[in-house]
Structure 1
């Protein structure tokens, strides 16, 4: 009899402060009922930069650059005691900045819902082709095509046909809705779905790189995020395992 064993593990963190501001459940709910609330006004002052996120001791533990026991020797609060010389890449994975993550969302988008502003897309492409793991993605060439104009993106967002993709408060892209009427395929839901898929692909690519496992050797993928894909007829009809594998 064969018994399953764990032969490797990988992790990925994405630093996405603009998603907290524009898509976080608390923020979107608060904006509807009290758009001038003290919480919404003060929140931007409490967000960490990418460098601060990389230097945060628990994050360094998560990606394998520190042992968990090392936290006992670091004074609390940990956000006031950053790890000097911390790196974004670690033994188990990485901490990815938001601009690269937007590029990854574009790469894993199978239905042309993600539109990135042309100059921004070119900048992200130049970074991802040098990425130690992402450079091997089969659909990286999607970033070679012409991006969208800023005016076109602004128009889609203004007409509520797409969810804005912001970077440091600037609109750099959008995610369009997948259906005109289906509430399960709104631009907000599609943004969540693509973010879930992209972050899983990031972790999976690190798993391949760190274990030597080949994609063609994988027979089955189990995906267990909180999101579920589907439409109005089958709203939670499936997870993203097949899409991640593809």
Structure 2
């Protein structure tokens, strides 16, 4: 069955950010637990942390912000962390890399409850230039130390204590400093990406109708632990005074659902445009630090990833979500890799009268293999592409000896940080828009999966997919 009339929603632009946070690695879920068990772990972590310049010159990060393409990355010698790109810049074609100093200023500027306190001398020397006139709470070093001796989390720049992060309601575990820091980091980084997107589009914040956040956080109190609404907090921070918003959750598949939901709101006429945003996951910093320390390599999970995408009504020739191609992983489907490929690739393509070979590029979970392989997690993108290729062989779309070529030409190497929602397909959107506009590809199928079973409410997996192509209507 072929859909008679394609339904297009324009993708006006995308902006990606990577925020370097080496001194927050210790507060990631895995490192914090290991440090609590053995204080010596902190010293091991600190010895393997990267400098900001090394993070900027790391080739996968340059792909993430659009300075080089995934195809160019595949041709570079490895290990990428040992062969940095000399002269690389922190600003790319569709994104930027943010320093930790700037992150601290962003956190302070995004704070509405006096949770962040910066050391006054450090702020005057370093932080003030990033504050953009925002009111920042600053205190003396002695006062900062006193806060940290109680309930506050210390903020470091190397060995220097430069701030503290506290709570204003210690009685609620859901408002504990570590939880609030995780949530504020998501808000601040997402707001930064949305601001960058609006600047790149020369669009006023007041012109945004609706914001959907697909960040990995749970904002709430003891009576409603995941109540939200981070999207509206981000909209407020960026000055989107006419916008409202809501949060969309589906583990790693969240961004894909958010894109479909946003496109549907526009198609139905409820709003004119939607900004889909996501902030970084502090909890995922240093997840695989043990294998990196053991391998005497830098701790590569020192980056908070964030992005913002602007959707609007259909425009002739514009790269667009083909809304009628959207597919979901139903309850009745199994969670095997083949079942995922069938329901998120084969069946939606067949509905459009397409085969596997009619898709020029597949965007899947684009985890950087230099992060995952040393820990035994394997090369996630390559595994996914091999699964798609195997199913294409089973359906007679390609021959078995063409599997490797299928994976190489229609797939790509992974380059995104292991931030869960960040590598899940949408991290390729900027490159896809460029390739579509240049006529290098006709389309891209975006596929993301979510591990719902991690939340202990179901054994199910989840997933969502959609086709992106130029509006030929």
* Structure 1 and Structure 2 fold alike (TM over 0.5): yes
Q: Which has the higher helix share?
A: 1
Counterpart secondary structure, 1:141? coil
Matches within 5 A, 1:104-119: 104-119=106-121
Match of 1:63 in 2: 65
- Segment drifting more, 61-70 vs 24-33: 24-33
Structure 2 unaligned blocks of 5 or more: 1-6, 237-473
- State how far apart, in whole Å, the 1-side matches of 2:125 and 2:103 are: 12
- Which residues of structure 1 form unaligned runs of 5+? 130-134
Give the distance between the partners of 1:29 and 1:56, measured in 2 at CA.
28
User: What is the match of residue 139 of structure 2?
Assistant: 148
**Alpha-carbon contact 1:57-1:71 (below 8 Å) kept:** yes
CA contact (8 A) 1:65 1:91 kept: yes
Distance in 2 (CA, whole Å) between partners of 1:80 and 1:33 is 31
- Kept in 2: contact 1:52–1:82 (CA 8 A): yes
Q: Could you say which structure has the larger radius of gyration?
A: 2
Q: Which moved more, 1:8-17 or 1:166-175?
A: 166-175
Give a deviation string over 1:78-103, Cα, whole Å, max 9, x none.
Answer: 01111111001111121111011100
> Normalising to structure 2: TM-score of the pair?
0.47
Q: Distance in 1 between matches of 2:32 and 2:155?
A: 15
**Which residue is equivalent to 2:231?**
241
Partners of 1:5 and 1:25 lie apart in 2 by 38
Using structure 1 for the length normalisation, give the TM-score: 0.88
Q: 2:195 aligns with which of 187, 205, 208?
A: 205
1:79 aligns with: 81
User: What is the CA-CA distance between 1:43 and the residue it aligns to?
Assistant: 2.0
Q: Distance in 2 between matches of 1:46 and 1:239?
A: 36
Please give the alpha-carbon distance, in whole angstroms, between the structure 1 residues aligned to 2:178 and 2:56: 28
Of Structure 1 and Structure 2, the greater strand share is in 2
Say which SS state the counterpart of residue 236 (structure 1) adopts. coil
The separation in 2 between residues aligned to 1:125 and 1:45, in whole angstroms, is 25
Distance, in Å, in 1 between the alignment partners of 2:21 and 2:10 is 33
- Which residue in 2 is equivalent to 1:45? 47
Work out which structure has the larger RCO, using CA pairs closer than 8 Å and 6 or more positions apart in sequence: 2
Which residue matches 1:14? 19
In structure 2, the partner of 1:132 is: none
Aligned Cα RMSD in Å? 1.8
